[in-house]
Structure 1
Amino acid sequence: MLHILALTSTLLLQRVTAHGGCLNYTVGDIWYPGYSPYDDPIPQDAAPWMPQRKWVTNDPIFSPTNISLACNAPGDPARAYIPLLPGQPITAVYMYWVHTVGPMIAWMARCPSDDCHTTDASRVSWFKIGQRGLESGTIETGTWFQGSFSRWDGSPSLWTETVPEGLQKGRYLIRHEIVSLHSAGKPQFYPQCAHVEVGGEGVESPGEEYLTRIPGVWSMDQPEINIDIYAPGIANRTVYNIPGPPVWKG
């Protein structure tokens, strides 16, 4: 499986000039395809096996109020679901990620009536299932997970988070988001969404203190988002607090 992913990455490397994105997912030893903005959209749009919502460019979203922040642009619903169980890891597979500074957050949201095909991602209640930030060193020159997960040898960059224990069974959106902060005062947002179906016998769901809307969770009034990582008094800080609600572990 990893050999196939590495080959895919090598081919994509020849076509991607900047940035990147989540192009597929793995759960255990099972590989699930994602949407490729670099390939013909027609067969992908009609594919009954496609679990990832459509995105058509690897360019960033610059505004925290942009409606596309929910599931990228255009964010059209997928046709399939990735089966998951509470407590099970899911890995988002990125190709050729080039940025190194800023948080990475994984989210889930329950689809109303268990129908993600008709769900407006900007109108659901999202909750964090995992987040990664500054791992060591300073904000400007230290090691962020965004930098340490990236691979420059053509192999895939892997980001694994775990479905919360006891999560109520049903259909959800899962959203992986990278916020890049390398440009002073100009955050860049890179989200992708997929449809998942959580099985098992879980009955738990997060309380209101864990829930938010997207867009809505980020603001240029937040100093962690509207930040100049090179500014005196900020560059040498060794703590970066990821804004938004706390992570819900179930």
Structure 2
Amino acid sequence: MWQAVASVVGFLVHQVSAHGGALNYTVGETWYPGYDPYGPEDQVTAPWTVQRKWVTNEPIFEANNISLACNTPGTPAVTSIPINAGENITAVYGSWVHTVGPMVAWLADCGGDCRDFDTTNADWFKIGEKGLLWGTIVDGMWFQRQFGVWDGTPSSWTEQIPASLRPGNYLVRHEIISLHSANKPQWYPECAHLEVKGTGTKFPGKEFMAKIPGVYSMNQPEINLDIYDPAVGERTTYTIPGPPVWTG
């Protein structure tokens, strides 16, 4: 049933403006429909909706914007994606055209039913991040550039749920930070509900945790930068801000 629903919803993507976001998710061969900001309003109560509501593919520009957690308005999803610790989850984007900046995947423990979870109380930890692969900041190969597909097919971003993670209900947050506009970073976050299963017993310590908003600021040189300034753009390294990735 999931596959049948997703085969219809999963490819109803919109080639609109120069932005985008995660529209669907896959675990193994199973598709899970997310929320389409340009689709019907009844998605928010549809029994298959696993993603928190977001109403536009326009970016968030403020590091302290409350919507940075799960986009605007971040209304909780109806159901969750079942996944075993150690399995991969893939976020599927209808299109992506930006090329510079990091991509970070986060989890937050809902401490119960994610439908009742307020993200202002969330402690987030990274499970994956992808940045500059080679070359310079301005002209090099970022994963974000590699991730964008120009032939009309969806773009896919895969990360692993740590195998030792304790079972529970979690939010997964996929975040793209685009840095192509000088001193004007753009955030594109989406969140989905997960039901993590397995026999793991581990959970990250405080050194891996961050608040969102809170983890980023315009005082960070990795966030507030001008890639067209040769002193910046010709660098061959970029440090993704925030805590280290927790792998279990």
Confirm or deny: 8 A CA contact 1:53 1:193 kept in the other structure: yes
Aligned to 2:28: 28
Runs (4+) off by over 6 Å = none
Confirm or deny: 8 A CA contact 1:5 1:155 kept in the other structure: no
Q: Shift of residue 232 of structure 1?
A: 2.3
Distance 1:5 1:145 in 2: 28
Deviations 1:30-51 (A, max 9, x none): 000010001111x202112111
* Structure 1 residue 45 corresponds to structure 2 residue 29: no
1:99-248 to 2 correspondences below 5 Å: 99-112=98-111, 114-248=112-246
* Structure 1 residue 88 corresponds to structure 2 residue 67: no
Q: Shift of residue 4 of structure 1?
A: 4.4
Confirm or deny: 8 A CA contact 1:54 1:74 kept in the other structure: yes
Aligned to 1:73: 72
Deviations 1:134-158 (A, max 9, x none): 0111000001000101101110100
- Residues 1:216 and 1:165: Cα distance change in structure 2 (over 3 Å): same
Confirm or deny: 8 A CA contact 1:5 1:156 kept in the other structure: no
Q: Shift of residue 85 of structure 1?
A: 1.0
Q: CA RMSD in A?
A: 1.6
Aligned to 1:8: 11
Confirm or deny: 8 A CA contact 1:6 1:154 kept in the other structure: no
Confirm or deny: 8 A CA contact 1:106 1:128 kept in the other structure: yes
Aligned to 2:17: 17
Distance 1:45 1:7 in 2: 16
Give secondary structure in 1 for the equivalent of 2:172. strand
Deviations 1:141-193 (A, max 9, x none): 00100010110111010000000121010000000000000001000000000
Distance 1:197 1:227 in 2: 38
Amino acid at match of 2:126: K
Deviations 1:80-101 (A, max 9, x none): 0001111110000011111000
Confirm or deny: 8 A CA contact 1:6 1:156 kept in the other structure: no
Q: Shift of residue 7 of structure 1?
A: 8.1
Confirm or deny: 8 A CA contact 1:87 1:163 kept in the other structure: yes
Confirm or deny: 8 A CA contact 2:178 2:186 kept in the other structure: yes
Gaps of 5+ in 1: none
Distance 1:76 1:7 in 2: 20
Distance 2:139 2:91 in 1: 26
TM-score by length of structure 1 reads 0.94
Aligned to 2:55: 56
Q: Shift of residue 129 of structure 1?
A: 0.2
TM-score by length of structure 2 reads 0.95
Identity of aligned residues (%): 59
Gaps of 5+ in 2: none
Distance 1:219 1:180 in 2: 15
Confirm or deny: 8 A CA contact 1:6 1:155 kept in the other structure: no
Amino acid at match of 1:12: H
Distance 1:90 1:19 in 2: 22
